[in-house]
Structure 1
Amino acid sequence: MALSLFHSTSSSIAFSSSSPYSPSSPFAIPFPTHRLSPRNTVRCNLVEPVKFNNGRPFIPVLREPTLPNFLSSKDMEETINKNDTRLRIFSGTANPALSQEIACYMGLELGKINIKRFADGEIYVQLQESVRGCDVYLVQPTCPPANENLMELLIMIDACRRASAKNITAVIPYFGYARADRKTQGRESIAAKLVANLITEAGANRVLACDLHSGQSMGYFDIPVDHVYGQPVILDYLASKTICSDDLIVVSPDVGGVARARAFAKKLSDAPLAIVDKRRHGHNVAEVMNLIGDVKGKVAVMVDDMIDTAGTIAKGAALLHQEGAREVYACSTHAVFSPPAIQRLSSGLFQEVIITNTIPVLEQNYFPQLTVLSVANLLGETIWRVHDDCSSGFEPYSSLGID
């Protein structure tokens, strides 16, 4: 039985203003499409200064908005609400391309912001439009250089707080320092908790993160956290590959990622699961020991939340080939790609390396086997639902992988 679904070109970012999921496919993941008509044409109104008439504030008479006759009453109500809301999206300098795609999907324009660095490296942020009483969303992954991007996010939050924003949501596609989430030895820091405290104290009211390294990181925040997964985007692309479902096997590169791989396998036609047992002797140093499961003659799909130096996933792929795997695919949400990751990933071990654009990939880091998928639609729809106060129990909302 071959998998078939919407096919996105592997050499370019898969992005569409409409839903990429086909409801006719048995492997499709439900994705809401009922809002595309009015939402993609909405523009936020700027907050205008108060006008005075003979020294007194001038309050204009509110009139009923006029809408085209072909819109239903539900569409009219939704469009009126969107036109009346005050929602702003601002982008940091870490991943402006993703921010622009999110704004494009939502039918909005990115807010005007001035971010620059002084000669000594200090960061300066100035909002160039009013956000008083607005719901503000700041898109800024804390990817390398992690410290600079994190500090920039904190200063952006502070600028919005001092400009009297009503609500400030930090949209963090990649949450740095997430690996330092517990003490495995004595006298260690828990940097994930520290970063959570910094974001909260800076003035953020909410956090929207994608594929946290571990679920307990959400508990480090004293504010609400919306956690989305990049799995629907990757699963959709894998479903477009002409691979027989009986030949598929999902592989976890380590024991800690078994839960993630099991959930991935269940959504991928309930594929079987294999586990690579490894022993780590230090940070960014891994040694593969053995394989749990049978991969002989199979198409192995290795699933992880991030690829840093690619040591773990490369040694796991080598082991899979030794055990008789026909092809090996690597799937990851976050492409950190610290050296020598590119050399390891492009060495011929992988049929394809599938990632998302939560972290921008430098032009010199592209290689023939690399496929970059966009999570802009996923994050954009989540922002709308958070802004509309939709419950996570809403079925289409839950199908996006939102906690």
Structure 2
Amino acid sequence: MFKILCNQIPRVLTVLTIPIITNKYSFSDISNDNNNITSKPGLNNMTVLGGTANQELTKQVCDILGVKPGEMDVTRFSDGEIHVQINESIRGKDCFIIQTCAAPVNDNLLELLLTITAARRSGAASVTAVIPYYGYKHNRRGLPISSTYHSRFLWSAASDFAKMLRILGVDKVISVDLQKSGQGHESCFFDNTIPVENISSIDSFVDYINNQLLIDPTNNKKKQITNKLVIVSPNTEYIKKAKKLELLLKQSHSNRHIDTAVILDNTHTNRLEGNAEIVGDVKDADVIIVDDFIDTATSLAILCRLLKKEGARRVFICASHGLFTQTSMELIDLSPVEKVIVTDSVPLPKGSSNKIVQISIAPLIAKILESEAITSNAIWDSERISDDNVKEIDEDDEEFELE
């Protein structure tokens, strides 16, 4: 009996050391839904690969472009490792990888990096990383100030992420609301060898506000918002974004009173104690708070109550990215906010509040990708024609020498 057990030990150890596949995501099913789609002219040499973080956004972009999502498998093993396999030929093609870096941030970030290397090793002519939500963009931290030199060493995880993308061979980066208006922090993390294109979502918010919240008073339909509207910046960093939204809305509604306000001393302690100062008049006005992202929703819930206390009639929130972690949905339901409008750069979690409204950025991304693919094809065609001309000249020279 002891001898039999000893013979079985190596086999048992071998089984235990093999990681178990826990999740396998295949994109062939998504591709099969679009078998009858005819791609637009000039897009035959492009491939769109979608990560697992936001598959619905990838599908919407491909539907607009008229292309099928590239077939690939993403496997997650029980030990946490990730394996990416591309199941179609992308040799010589322009590859666009759509992957948002929301929670779980590290898993989605590593999946993006592995997809980039898989595309490079598969012979892609170019690789463009489309990152709707750029991970670690708000992680700006500095080491403690030195008491001796009164200085500190600064670092940013976002710049480290940018360096990873550059080293792995990304040719271009496309993101949505990568930086605050008037600031260029994140784009400066990349060197001049990688173009960084930032898609602004403010026009999409303006369209939604005009069509859903603001209704012409001369129309017989019931107005969603009164004649007085105030755009509120939650801190001094978003004043320019609030002013831009104000100007765009005034272009369509010159007969309305539209103004801006800003909240000063907006620290966590001041918000809790109700000491945050509001510069601007929000009394009897409908208010729209503009922000970059919503995480736990704690700050925005407090701000909504503060604005209501100052006499605001109703409060709306427009944020570029809806992360919605922890108990954010419960806080939104309990807060006096009417609606929270976000883009679909990050998929909504299950059990989302009825107050959440998502607007699609797929048309914006599709427009950029179409332009990139057509431009790349034009360059490739011009190079091919030039090579053909050179070949014809060489052949003519050979014939001349023979004569």
TM-score range, shorter chain: 0.7 to 0.9
Written as runs of structure 1 = structure 2, the 5 A alignment for 1:34-53 is 42-43=38-39
Alignment-derived partner of residue 306 in structure 1? 293
Alignment-derived partner of residue 231 in structure 2? 250
Identity of aligned residues (%): 30
2:165 aligned with 1:199, yes or no? yes
Check whether the contact 1:276–1:288 (CA below 8 A) recurs between aligned residues.
no
Structure 1 distance, partners of 2:272, 2:172, is 35
Comparing 338-347 with 175-184, greater Cα deviation is found at 175-184
1:300-345 per-residue CA deviation (whole Å, 9 max, x = no partner) reads 0001110111122222211110110100001111001122321221
Inter-CA distance 101–189: structure 2 relative to 1 (3 Å threshold): same
Check whether the contact 2:225–2:286 (CA below 8 A) recurs between aligned residues.
no
Structure 2: segments with no counterpart, 5+ residues = 1-35, 145-151, 216-223, 252-257, 377-403
Which amino acid in the other structure matches residue 205 of structure 2? I
Give the match's secondary structure for 2:240: helix
Structure 2 distance, partners of 1:254, 1:288, is 14
Shift of 1:378: 1.1
Give the match's secondary structure for 2:267: strand
Check whether the contact 2:234–2:266 (CA below 8 A) recurs between aligned residues.
no
Shift of 1:189: 3.2
Shift of 1:264: 1.4
Alignment-derived partner of residue 46 in structure 2? 87
2:340 aligned with 1:353, yes or no? yes
How many equivalent residue pairs?
A: 312
1:329-388 per-residue CA deviation (whole Å, 9 max, x = no partner) reads 011110011223212211141111111110011122x11211111111111111112223
Give the match's secondary structure for 1:389: helix
2:240 aligned with 1:259, yes or no? yes
1:132-166 per-residue CA deviation (whole Å, 9 max, x = no partner) reads 11100000000000000000000000000111111
Alignment-derived partner of residue 319 in structure 1? 306
2:210 aligned with 1:239, yes or no? yes
Shift of 1:180: 2.1
Larger helix percent: 2
Cα RMSD between the aligned structures? Answer: 2.3
Q: Structure 1 length normalisation: TM-score? A: 0.73
Q: Structure 2 length normalisation: TM-score? A: 0.73
Which residue, 78, 87, 91 being the options, matches 1:128?
Answer: 87
Alignment-derived partner of residue 401 in structure 2? none
Alignment-derived partner of residue 325 in structure 2? 338
User: Which has the larger Rg?
Assistant: 2
Structure 2 distance, partners of 1:352, 1:137, is 33
Inter-CA distance 166–320: structure 2 relative to 1 (3 Å threshold): same
Which amino acid in the other structure matches residue 200 of structure 1? R
Inter-CA distance 269–204: structure 2 relative to 1 (3 Å threshold): same
Which residue, 367, 370, 373 being the options, matches 1:381?
Answer: 367
Give the match's secondary structure for 2:372: helix
Alignment-derived partner of residue 175 in structure 1? 134
Alignment-derived partner of residue 14 in structure 1? none
Shift of 1:245: 7.2
Check whether the contact 1:278–1:286 (CA below 8 A) recurs between aligned residues.
no
Which amino acid in the other structure matches residue 372 of structure 1? Q
Give the match's secondary structure for 1:143: coil
Structure 2 distance, partners of 1:219, 1:189, is 13
Written as runs of structure 1 = structure 2, the 5 A alignment for 1:380-399 is 380-389=366-375
Structure 1 distance, partners of 2:374, 2:273, is 44
Comparing 212-221 with 224-233, greater Cα deviation is found at 212-221
Check whether the contact 1:277–1:288 (CA below 8 A) recurs between aligned residues.
no
